Amino acid sequence: MFSLLLLLGVLYTLAPTVWGDVSQRATLGNKLASNGTGTSSYSMNVTDCPGYTLGSLHESDIGLTAQLTLAGPACNAFGRDISNLTIEVTYQSQSTLHVKIYDTANQQFTIPESVIERPAAPKTSYTGNSDLLFNFDAAPFAFWVTRRSDPGAMPLFDTRTSSLPPTPIPPFNASDPSTAFDGFPLVFEDQYLQVASALPYGTNIYGLGEVIASSGFRRDIGTDGGVGTIQTHWARDVADPIDQNMYGSHPIYVEHRYNATTGKASASGVLLLNAAGSDIFLQTPPNSKVSLIEYRLIGGIMDFYFFSGPSDAEVIAQYGSVIGYPMWQPAWGFGFHLCRWGYHNVSDDIENVAQMRAAGIPLEVQWNDIDLYHAFRDFTTDPVNFPGDELRTFIRDLAANNQHYIPITDVGIAITVNSTDIYDPFTRGVEEDVWIKNPDGSLYLGQVWPGYTVYPDWFSENILSVWTEALRNWTEIGVEFSGIWLDMNEPSSFCSDSCGTGANYSALAPMNMAGTVVTGYPECYNETKWGPSGNMTINGTSTNSCTTSSTTTTAVVKRGVGAGGEKDVNLNSPPYAIHNAIGSLNRNTLATNATHSGGYAELDVHNMFGLMEEKTTHLAIQSVIPGKRPFLISRSTFPSAGKWTGHWLGDNYSKWQYLYLNIQGVLQFQIYQIPMVGADTCGFNDNTDEELCNRWMQLSAFVPFYRNHNTYAALPQEPYRWESVANASRIAIAARYSLLPYWYTLFANSSMAGLPPVRALFYEFPDEPELFTVDRQWLVGSDILVTPVLTPGATTVDGIFPGRGSVIWRDWYTHAAVNATSGGNTTLDAPISYINVHIRDNSALLLHQEPGYTIYETREGPYSLLVSLNAAGTAFGTAYVDDGISFPPGPSRSLTFQAAKGTLKIESKGKYTILQKLETITVLGVQKPSQVSLQGSPVKGWTYKEATEELVVSNISVNLDGQTTLAWK
């Protein structure tokens, strides 16, 4: 959806602010004295902070508890020091250590279990066999975490000042004094918490998003010419900025630590489960022999989880075991989705669906943006352009063709503007008391598309019933959705503070998009010279205006209003000013003193708003569409959001730069346990062009969530608009749908065990340092390598093939083995409409043999099996099969494919009946056999291709519910 920052020039002059100027913070019913916006009582420096002393130690079978007492006079750096703390250390499992430091009085905000359910205390003792060991010094208190299996290694996390660089350290950004490190004591104040850990010099850190990092997927830690990182966590509606805080907050990182002496690497992870606004610093001070991470938080407690891995995928899975594994996806969710802001009526939808089918481009799900609404009001349809009966007929026609429909739900709920205005969702919410309040108990009124709006209070005991009723009523007036798209849930407001309080409601009309003009194009398209078509060629002449097909792309100017580091910025809240890129924490969102049910203040719960909407909506859909898996895509996320939703990467740009940047976004969200993720294909903001859309449609076919979506008044970018894009789409979608059993199995493993479906190359090849910064390629599972074209005008692409020559990589389309450079780039042909995809050896992939127009038709067709042998003649693979829709998941069947010594064995277990037959088995890497047998009987219908060492056994109609053996010799 359109970002609010792109609208600031056309916003209305609003009524004077009533609430939001002064922070009035209540946590769990405990009112803390407001310091207003002044800072005179605080030292604003941690140099003299005394730290803590540990005492009253009690050890148990599962860990220890102790008391921490302030070790000297309070420093009151950015708040009031809390004198008495409790530390609880729990050996949660052999691979997970929980370290929780909180105020003994329990007055600081702690994330409720009702929001994120955490593991219960273990019933088995792991203190003697956990791979993680908790170590501490009592005075001054500090702790460090080591591996039992590698006791001589540098600790995974180490807060001792003796392990950290000497202080004071001057600002690493001379214009921003807050980037100094005055000292590294443990600081625990009501409005400021600080803790730092030493890290190995220049180690590899991934995560800590949501962010579009200029350094790439690997975070900048201040070595190798980098400047370090300040990762701010404060959810914010902004059009995909670079190196700024944005929609979601995920304070989890994976460290991939490489030992150059042994040539071996291991991974570990750290989660600080805290919802407060925060800055997280990654830095390596000048002349320091170590790097560091420092957390600066403006509230809450220190709730750490440490994960021992030792592989990257295991770290991610261990994180999932704490915050919850991802939701089960319906099979249809893996199809191609199509949307734009600017389908003006039902006829546009109908025409679009017809054009897609006429072009032979599979369309699984048609979406509608806010054009659907009447006066931009949630849970309505425009009575002229989207009358309920016509929309119902359209959606049922989709369903009859095994297609689906998804509408948008924005977070701001319109208020009624006068006594004759009837809008049931708002009225019911007032009756059931489910809207966020001002501190005086009046409704908090922000502004979004329909005008003045209220915001759901997800802590209200009645919100689930009101939300469910609104969704159910929507279906009854014609919007018979299959899933829901949640937007603007940072939450976004077009004004700051409760701007509607005391205002004339009728004076603020809904937003009017008439006359909107979109002028931007991709980097190498000159619209002044070539006009607005975006075509690759005009009258036989290339429209590529770049002189070469250089791999560098033009930087996109970062958009923003205000600056987090601007001098004298008044943040209206805690004395420590986190680096919120737009300035005040109240800017274009809810004021930090907005009040939630139970006494919670927005300051403490802001970053969880999207998560709580996702959970509520997921549960509501279970009620509205019983027995079927919900499908949700949402913008603002927080730890555990993947239990309830998928995610799209926000309001990106139709630029080649963003084609590349969406790869790191997909990789990030695998870490965050939100694997159903993808970008707005072809770009959202600005106009796309033919070549960019061609390449992007190919790339997105190999990420989990596949949706083309663009902004209001921009050049249409449906894939049928250009024949080359249509052709690229047909090829890529056919490959995607063939691979659906593989995708589905990867996501089943994610939902059951937390394993990431999409992987950075080094996850599978951890001891190859040349892979640690690779984010222009990725792996689907462990066996599919994707190497897209990311630059305009290119007909070749460079890619690295992991394994340093020990792995045979075969072309997806031709099955030919690649003659790859060991440990370096290989140049591959990449003509337009072609994306390089390669299959790893030692793999066995269950495929759909005949990709259909829809996922349903594809699943109804026969299977094939593609086996890629390694040099030793072995291969292994698995598949998970069920009905693809039932919730909770019903009977299933697990298949295992294992090849060795000229024999392929298929094992089948489970209660689900697979009606479709396995018709073809292809084995790559086989020396020409003289005979082939199936279940011990000779097979006549087999062929062999010498060039690709390819054995193909066809028309075999194997029942996958039983055991099968294929042999060749």
- Which residues are identified as catalytic? 487, 490, 651
How many Å apart are CA 898 and CA 878, to the nearest integer? 9
Contact status, residue 119 vs residue 99, Cβ threshold 8 Å: no
CA torsion angle 275 276 277 282 (round to 10) = -80
- β partners of residue 846: 865
**Six-digit token string for 397:** 């026609």
Question: Strand, coil or helix: what is 343?
Answer: coil
Token pair in block for residue 351:
């025409």
Burial class (CB in 10 A: 0-12, 13-18, 19+), 741: buried
Which residue is it, tokens 């009854």?
A: 476
Q: Which amino acid is at 462?
A: N
The answer to whether the CB of 713 falls within 8 A of the CB of 742 is no
- Amino acid residing at 89: V
Cα 651 from chain centre = 14
Residue 205, CA distances (Å) to 20, 201, 289, 641 in order: 37, 11, 17, 22
Residue 911 structure tokens: 């209660």
CB atoms within 10 A of CB 388: 16
Q: Which helix (H) or strand (E) holds 204?
A: strand 204-207
Chain centroid, CA 320 distance in Å: 14
Q: Biggest alpha carbon distance in the chain?
A: 89
User: What residues contact 186, with CB distance under 8 A and at least 6 apart?
Assistant: 51, 52, 140, 141, 142, 159, 194, 195
The residue whose two tokens read 């792109």 is 6
Cβ neighbours around 66 below 10 Å, total? 19
- Going by C-alpha positions, the residue among 601, 447, 594, 425 that lies closest to residue 509 is 447
If you ran DSSP here, which 8-state letter would residue 465 be given? Answer: H
Contact between 352 and 702 under an 8 Å Cβ cutoff? The reply is no
Contacts of 845 (CB under 8 A, 6+ apart): 739, 741, 742, 783, 784, 839, 865, 866, 867, 868, 877
Q: Which amino acid is at 129?
A: N
